[in-house]
Chain A
Amino acid sequence: MPEAAQKQVEYIDIKDLRPLPAKKKLPRHPPVIVFNPSKCTGCSTCEMVCSNRNVDKVAPASSSIKVLRNEEEGKNFAALCLHCREPLCLEACPTRAIDKDDEGIVRIRRLFCVECGICTLACPESAPMVEPVTGKIRKCDLCEGDPLCVKHCPEGALHFYRGKAVGWIKYLRWPVQLLSFLLLVVVLVGTFCYFTAGVVSLPCPTGTLQNIAATKHIVFASAGAALVLIVLTILLGRAFCGWVCPFGFFLDLVGSVVPKFGLPKFLKSRMIKYGILGGAIGGAAGLGFQPFCTVCPIGSICRSYGVSGVLQGAELAIVPAIASLELGQRRSWCRYFCPVGAVLALAAKIGLIKIVIGAKQCKKFSCMQCADICPMGIIDREALREGTAPKIPMDECILCMRCVDTCPYSSAKIRFRWQKTIPGEVKAWTYS
């Protein structure tokens, strides 16, 4: 709770009357009004219609949306409720008068509200507003699904999204993943480890490293071919993990149906995968064969199709064993353990592309949709809460682009490493 809100709680000496409401299963994409500052001319029509609904007269002071002008920069912005996933006002309210309903709308229950104003201090958007004379707290309730401010904005600066689906990315990514899976597992059985088509041969980089360690001999053609995936990773990041890897696709399928119970803390280190990679290479050097390849879930799933695949049942048992990690977190294997991912992560560290979040219109501290949806859990919630742009570690990003897709404010963008462009930078408003 912000310091000002804490002081107010102590000042008015209200004890918690009721416990915090139990966390509900929220709609995946709660309704939200998105404000486009580049279009807003500051005409206050939204305030007029909102107050007219609230108090049956035009009274901007009684509006639940507030248009503010920055005279230094000549920009406008609107203070309005974002119906956050984790509303700070809800936690701060000492009388538990604020609740989030089944549709994801944060509401004030008048019966319990004592008009202490703590919610106004707790909200980083200053969305709950105190009426100057009556002291009543007002907050946007989205006009029961048909926000008047959106309807009447003459510039189209306000947009209302309700139950927005994950959008376009799933229609692109899932078919690509399915095709890759079918290609590598069904059509080109067992070929991920060493794919050959005519003169082209593409071995797995981790397998190649183990092979070199085991044989103490470098076959330059093979090593060079293994570099193809590394070069692609430098160019496109870990897109292989997010779009092509058949085991990644399998984990996505499993992860979408199994519940999550979390992982023990000692397993949640992203350095483990580098340890496994080092162990695999060291083991290969000592044992004279590639130890990790025998248990590699990617190789196992690629070799699992057909009669020969069934005969390798013992090896295939590794797949459900590792997939059970999905009970802990999404893509647990990819996050913490996969040595193939570790090799690609090293390449992605010097990659050419990056994902940036933190445009001026990013409602960092309250929206959290990008952090919620990231399967690798690499978007820093604390940075978002502090209102700073989170730094995305591209060695851990599998470039699934779900953050880009899900951000209702278009704040998450793919950029080249050298680009300094702030995503979603406010463009000059031009006449139509």
Chain B
Amino acid sequence: MDVLMTPFYNAKMALVNLENSSVETIDLPSELFAEHTGGVRLSTVLLERYADNAPLVFGTGPLTGSFAPASCLMTASFYSNGNKVVHVPFMLNTGPQLKFSGIDFLVITGRSETPVIIELIDNTIRITPGDTLAGDLSKREDLLLARGRNCPEIVLLTGNAADNSSAHACLSTGLWGSLDKASLGCAVGQKNIRAIALKAAGGIRFPEHAIEMSGPMASALKNQYSTPQFVVQKSMGSGEAASQLIKKHFKKAHACYHCPFPCMSYLEFPQAGSHSLFKAGKKQGVFLLDHEGFAALSKKRPADAVVLLKHCIENGIDPSAAAAGLDQTTPTEEACSHIDLFASNHSASVDTADSSDTGAVSLEFYRMFGSGIPRIVPTGSADEYDTWEKKTALAMTLGICPILLLCFAHIRAEDLLAFLWSDADVIAAAKEKLAHAVDAVLAG
């Protein structure tokens, strides 16, 4: 049976060539979607197509932007140093913003001579100068948000670390940090891209029946978690220190696009030097999206892990890598200086995945998916996707958050496909295609 995927896509990709600053919108044939389903599988196909020109592919899946829970995912696929394909997940509303901009995949090739910003604003793709985008991440974001009508909904930013071609530079989602521990930030920095700004003006029609399915599933999921520490407690790579710190500093929970499981926390802490005998100190905070990175910092420096996490995000550097180079006893200010130095040193490199190997998840697949997705063993899986890598590959092919699927392993592939089709035969056929796509992703 034919499975028609194109209604859930724009069936378009944008090809941005930084060598000659050209932007081209290309129609993608429906057969491509039918064969590969979408998400990271199709991104891999596009990577191979443009392999000669150092491609970087941002992609979405069929469920991205839909009424399925946590349909927030955008993936960035690229060839890492070892010439292996790596897929880095991006959360919040990055996926819907890309998809609703009228394209499903953004392929960036070549390298710009000068720093640039790639803008997808109101369904128009532009390459604009990015020379002025400097300083820490908050300054860079402020500059992008002060653009009046061209103010983006969400920005992917590189920081000082990427400017200095650090091997541990991250591509950060605004000030939220990132699950990028695979040098995507470095790859983006080497292309001289300072930021990718997204603001969608369009939309996609999803089946009406899915709206009514969404609520009950959300309610069912909500009853299964209890604390903001849920993710770090389940993750094999985390520890008790991170859990305690989240409990101590937790201020507010945040969720990604259409996610009933608010796993991101806003942690608040007193600003250093702002309090006195008679005056309470000012508060500042940091978003906790990168649970693995925070866990690594917490293990090393439980006293100031929150402060250091903020400093890592501001510099656009991977907190796990920064933690590996930190001394346990140095004062906070000295540790911050160390992070600054680490971000500016392009030759400094540590293997964070090996240093926190728990054995629960294959390092090969952990690295394939960006080394930032929490290593949660999917216990109670109700279908064949019963391992960390299979669940992750499934989520990244469909375009939904892998953390949700890992935490709630009982959600089956057909439960998710039911958000696209109501016909059981079509769902069965789509599931078969999906299985092939997931296998192909895991085969690299």
Give A contacts to B, CB under 8 Å.
Answer: 38, 41-45, 48-49, 51-52, 55-62, 69, 71, 73-76, 131-133, 152, 154-155, 428-429, 431-432
Q: Return the contact of A432 from the options B67, B123, B222 (Cβ within 8 A).
A: B222
B67 contacts A132, CB within 8 Å? no
B65 contacts A58, CB within 8 Å? yes
A154 contacts B218, CB within 8 Å? yes
Give the chain A neighbours of B153 by CB distance below 8 A: 60
B260 contacts A133, CB within 8 Å? no
Instruction: Give the complex CA separation of A51 and B203 in angstroms.
Output: 9
Instruction: Give the complex CA separation of A38 and B268 in angstroms.
Output: 15
B203 contacts A45, CB within 8 Å? no
Give the chain A neighbours of B259 by CB distance below 8 A: 41, 43
Interface residue? B253 (CB, 8 A): yes
A43 contacts B285, CB within 8 Å? no
Q: Using A52-B211, A60-B200, A154-B222 as known contacts, say yes or no to A71 and B205 having CB atoms under 8 A apart.
A: no
Q: Return the contact of B285 from the options A51, A57, A73, A132 (Cβ within 8 A).
A: A73
Interface residue? B214 (CB, 8 A): yes
User: For residues 219 through 262 of chain B, which have their beta carbon under 8 Å from a beta carbon of chain A?
Assistant: 219, 222, 225-228, 250-260, 262
The 8 A-B pairs with the shortest beta carbon distances in the complex, nearest first, are A59-B203, A74-B266, A41-B255, A132-B201, A57-B205, A57-B203, A41-B262, A43-B255
Instruction: Give the complex CA separation of A73 and B268 in angstroms.
Output: 9
Q: Using A52-B211, A59-B202 as known contacts, say yes or no to A43 and B260 having CB atoms under 8 A apart.
A: yes
Query: Of residues A44, A48, A154, which shows the largest number of chain B Cβ atoms within 10 Å of its Cβ?
Result: A154
**A-B CB contacts (within 8 Å), total count:** 107
B251 contacts A428, CB within 8 Å? yes
A133 contacts B123, CB within 8 Å? yes
B250 contacts A428, CB within 8 Å? yes
Give B contacts to A, CB under 8 Å.
Answer: 65-67, 93, 96, 100, 122-123, 141, 153, 174-176, 199-206, 211, 214-215, 218-219, 222, 225-228, 250-260, 262, 266, 268, 285, 287
A132 contacts B122, CB within 8 Å? yes
A57 contacts B256, CB within 8 Å? no
A62 contacts B203, CB within 8 Å? yes
Instruction: Give the complex CA separation of A131 and B256 in angstroms.
Output: 23
A60 contacts B254, CB within 8 Å? no
Query: Of residues A41, A155, A428, which shows the largest number of chain B Cβ atoms within 10 Å of its Cβ?
Result: A41
Query: Of residues B96, B123, B252, which shows the largest number of chain A Cβ atoms within 10 Å of its Cβ?
Result: B252
B100 contacts A61, CB within 8 Å? yes
25 contacts between A and B (CB under 8 A): A41-B253, A41-B262, A44-B258, A45-B258, A52-B211, A57-B206, A58-B100, A59-B204, A60-B96, A61-B201, A61-B202, A62-B203, A71-B174, A73-B285, A74-B251, A74-B268, A133-B122, A133-B202, A152-B215, A155-B262, A428-B252, A429-B252, A429-B262, A431-B225, A432-B222
B287 contacts A71, CB within 8 Å? yes
The residue of chain B having its C-beta at the shortest distance from the C-beta of A134 within the complex is B201
Q: Using A41-B262, A428-B252 as known contacts, say yes or no to A57 and B204 having CB atoms under 8 A apart.
A: yes
Instruction: Give the complex CA separation of A60 and B199 in angstroms.
Output: 10
Instruction: Give the complex CA separation of A76 and B251 in angstroms.
Output: 12
A59 contacts B100, CB within 8 Å? yes
Give the chain B neighbours of A49 by CB distance below 8 A: 211
Instruction: Give the complex CA separation of A131 and B266 in angstroms.
Output: 31
Q: Looking at the assembled complex, report how far the CB atom of B153 sits from the nearest CB atom of chain A, in whole angstroms.
A: 8
Give the chain A neighbours of B204 by CB distance below 8 A: 57-59
5 additional contacts (CB under 8 A) given A55-B203, A154-B218: A44-B93, A56-B205, A58-B204, A154-B222, A155-B262
Instruction: Give the complex CA separation of A367 and B68 in angstroms.
Output: 36
Give the chain A neighbours of B174 by CB distance below 8 A: 71
Give the chain B neighbours of A74 by CB distance below 8 A: 251-252, 254, 266, 268, 285, 287
Instruction: Give the complex CA separation of A141 and B66 in angstroms.
Output: 24
Instruction: Give the complex CA separation of A45 and B256 in angstroms.
Output: 10
Instruction: Give the complex CA separation of A62 and B123 in angstroms.
Output: 13
Q: Looking at the assembled complex, report how far the CB atom of A180 sits from the nearest CB atom of chain B, in whole angstroms.
A: 45
Instruction: Give the complex CA separation of A75 and B283 in angstroms.
Output: 13
Give the chain A neighbours of B258 by CB distance below 8 A: 43-45, 48
Instruction: Give the complex CA separation of A56 and B206 in angstroms.
Output: 9
The residue of chain A having its C-beta at the shortest distance from the C-beta of B202 within the complex is A59
Give the chain A neighbours of B176 by CB distance below 8 A: 71
The residue of chain B having its C-beta at the shortest distance from the C-beta of A432 within the complex is B222
Give the chain A neighbours of B219 by CB distance below 8 A: 154
Instruction: Give the complex CA separation of A267 and B98 in angstroms.
Output: 64
Q: Looking at the assembled complex, report how far the CB atom of B307 sits from the nearest CB atom of chain A, in whole angstroms.
A: 15
